[in-house]
Structure 1
Amino acid sequence: MTFAVHRSDEPTAKQRGEAFGRAMAPQVRHTVAVYRRMFDERGVTVPADLPPHAEIDAIAHGAGVDPGFLRAVNARTELLNGADECSVQGAGGLLAQNWDWHPDLAASTVIWIVEHDGRWFATATEAGMLAKIGLNDAGLGVCLNILRTTADGGTDGIPIHVLLRTVLETTQTVDEAIDVLTAARVTASSAVTVATPGDIAHVELSPGGANVLRGAVGAHTNHFIVPPRAGTDVMAVESPTTHLRLDVVRTQPLLDALRSHDGHPKGVCRHVDAGDAWIDQTVTIASVVMNLSTRRLHVAAGPPCSHEHHEVTLPTRSSSGRLASTAAR
């Protein structure tokens, strides 16, 4: 099985969003339905004052869903307060992540490739959400780990998935990405790993301010490596495997780490725990490996112990400098 791929080259955010919403309407509607149930089961009240967003609202219009609710979906990290999910490894020009989240959202997952103004980016995300894990034409890769502190709360900052889109769309170097991330006001904690060939950083975002980790880094899970600047690290205590998974992704070769069942069923390669209630279920929905030097993207549509990584065809520049959709090399 592979995920649906949608390619956008419309000149405006509104046109791009509407085209995506029409083409991916079943997936967007599924995303909305799953998050409605999640919000209901968590007792989350969807804010009525989330600001309009041209592209999110256009996706909603194209798919025939409520724009206000789709804005809330893009702020799901802020509203649901995080979960124990995801393991990231980066080294030698490679950046990889197992994205762990609710198994029902596998049916919403898409690869979205956007070409605009002579540049491109690709992201593996839930249909209707602006971005998550991704790679752009400059060889800049982005990964995400959810963190949580006692200082988290509110929706008056920039939603992390909106911020990830800004990084993919506007930055070309690790330094530029760090500038964008550290300038943003956030209300939920996250670790954003940004890398180019030969450079990598983890930016641990939280309401108290950002930690920027450079140098001998290259792995992250769901706890702060440097203590948060405000509040206390919740996941360091409550996550059953975050410390074990960090050791795995720090010490094992990349594919071995992604397929590791240490801590099963909540290892790096995550499987549904039969004892979990529906709202607490998680699984590795996608395993993503990016070669930043060659701009190659490989995605497994499920736990990588039993699902192969398949290459996604990305744009590349022709000798004239124009973009052409050919197999990445």
Structure 2
Amino acid sequence: MFPCIHTLHATSAHERGQIYGQAAKEQIQHSVVTYARLFAACGIDWANACDRAMRFEGVIAQVDADLMAELNGVAHGSGQRLGSLMALNCRTEILPATFFSDEPQLAHAAMAANRAAGLPDWLADAPWDLALKDGECTAMGVTAAASRTGQAWLAQNWDWMGRQRQALVVLHTQGPSGQSITTLTEAGMLAKIGINQSGFALGLNILRSKRDGSRLGVPVHVLLRHLLDCRSVAHARERLQALQTDLGLGFGAASNVPCADAQGQTACFEVSPAGWAEVTPTRGVVVHTNHFVCESLLAEQATIGPVLSSHQRLETASQHALKTPIGQAELERFLRDESDGFLSICRSPDPSVPPESRVESVAGIVMHTQPPAMWLACDVPSRVAFEPVPLAASANPIKERQDQAIVA
């Protein structure tokens, strides 16, 4: 199992972050080195990435001031600068819209700047122009009506650089209402894939919009942490609308957020700098990969290279979605599907690619909403069992904090 970090006993957001930073100090440094090289492959050195990320400080504070206090605490506990933590949490906004295309990037100057700053190049033995050209995820949400158990499910593989498996942690924390949250995330990030005590679960599929990075808006990983305080899919819908319309913040980059709740509902929310839209279930099941499917956002799609295989995986996932009723066994089988070779839903590392830059299914996640439950496959899912994750117990009575967070 990935390292589990408990912060629910903290008495403040800063202390919560400090506990997280101290416990994950080595993993956070690993994340910094990983993303410094990833940004450099796009022509952005680490100092520049940190500067770009710090521009989002005011936006994050508007969403929830405690999140900035927590990030300061993580920086203090880990010995990193705040800018480094901001760069990790704004990684989707910093990556250019061309990240998923096959266009080469001018990386040499950025890599030289990183070396001068003392950041090691973990891809030194691999040709830079063959590295890190794709990242994938495949997700499925199952409503109560299509479920074998009568409750909603959410499952996904998180496909990324295999190196980042060493940086994954299970973080037990809390939202502004006081309810507990359990999230599998990259060390240093506020959240990624998770579930809360209300039985609301969410995941993440990265998308690329032509307008990514063109405006300040809520960073994707901040959005995930904010939504993990929701009580239901309907509540998440209200919060997205509040961020877009009431506060006028919008979103800084594109992603898809698949969700499921204890009321038996599921949906996918596509967000982008141009707005957001919802993918509803078909016959009780919704699936998503790494391209826009909502008609209102199709024109936002940035160019993606054929190695991403997003459309191909969506077709394969749709075949699994037809096999209702769906329960844990069916979802694990879905996440282990290797029918499309190295571009499958379950992605093994391609031996033809330099080892340092291989993309693979870093972990598989299955979540049941009522009662809340999570299972993790801590390697390529076809290689390992899905293990149960003890969820965080509530630390405080749920309380409203309308002055510091959006409570829809």
Global fold match (TM > 0.5) = yes
The more displaced of 116-125 and 296-305 is 116-125
- Structure with the higher strand share, 1 or 2: 1
Using the TM superposition, give the Cα deviation of residue 157 of structure 1 relative to its aligned residue in structure 2, in angstroms.
Answer: 1.2
Residues 77/204 of structure 1: CA separation in 2 closer, same or farther (3 Å cut): same
Matched, 1:66 2:84: no
Aligned to 1:211: 277
Using the TM superposition, give the Cα deviation of residue 316 of structure 1 relative to its aligned residue in structure 2, in angstroms.
Answer: 4.7
* CA shift digits 1:31-79 (9 cap, x unpaired): 1111112222221231524344221221011011121021011111111
Runs of 4+ in 1 over 4 A off after TM superposition: 115-118, 235-239, 277-280
SS, match of residue 58 in structure 1: helix
Aligned to 1:39: 39
Matched, 1:8 2:13: no
Aligned to 2:369: 292
Q: Supply the distance in 2 between the matched residues of 1:128 and 1:317 (Cα, whole angstroms).
A: 22
Asked if the contact 1:85–1:222 (Cα under 8 Å) also holds between the matched residues in 2, the reply is yes
- Residue identity opposite 1:249 in structure 2: A
Aligned to 1:327: none
Using the TM superposition, give the Cα deviation of residue 132 of structure 1 relative to its aligned residue in structure 2, in angstroms.
Answer: 0.4
Q: Supply the distance in 2 between the matched residues of 1:47 and 1:29 (Cα, whole angstroms).
A: 14
Aligned to 1:27: 27
SS, match of residue 96 in structure 1: strand
Using the TM superposition, give the Cα deviation of residue 290 of structure 1 relative to its aligned residue in structure 2, in angstroms.
Answer: 0.4
Matched, 1:50 2:55: yes
* CA shift digits 1:160-180 (9 cap, x unpaired): 0000000002x1011111122
Using the TM superposition, give the Cα deviation of residue 113 of structure 1 relative to its aligned residue in structure 2, in angstroms.
Answer: 0.9
- Aligned residue among 87, 94, 114 for 2:173: 114
* CA shift digits 1:233-278 (9 cap, x unpaired): 2366645421221122222232221001122212111122233457
Aligned to 1:241: 309
Unaligned runs of 5+ in 2: 58-67, 100-133, 245-249, 321-329, 399-408
Matched, 1:77 2:96: no
SS, match of residue 86 in structure 1: strand
Aligned to 1:156: 216
Residues 63/312 of structure 1: CA separation in 2 closer, same or farther (3 Å cut): same
Q: Which has the higher contact order (CA 8 A, sep 6+)?
A: 2
Residues 12/152 of structure 1: CA separation in 2 closer, same or farther (3 Å cut): same
Identity level (%)? 32
Matched, 1:95 2:154: yes
Structure showing greater Rg:
2
Q: Supply the distance in 2 between the matched residues of 1:129 and 1:155 (Cα, whole angstroms).
A: 21
- Aligned residue among 167, 186, 211 for 2:251: 186
Aligned to 2:351: 274
Give the RMSD, CA atoms, in angstroms.
2.4
Count of aligned pairs? 319
Q: Supply the distance in 2 between the matched residues of 1:257 and 1:186 (Cα, whole angstroms).
A: 31
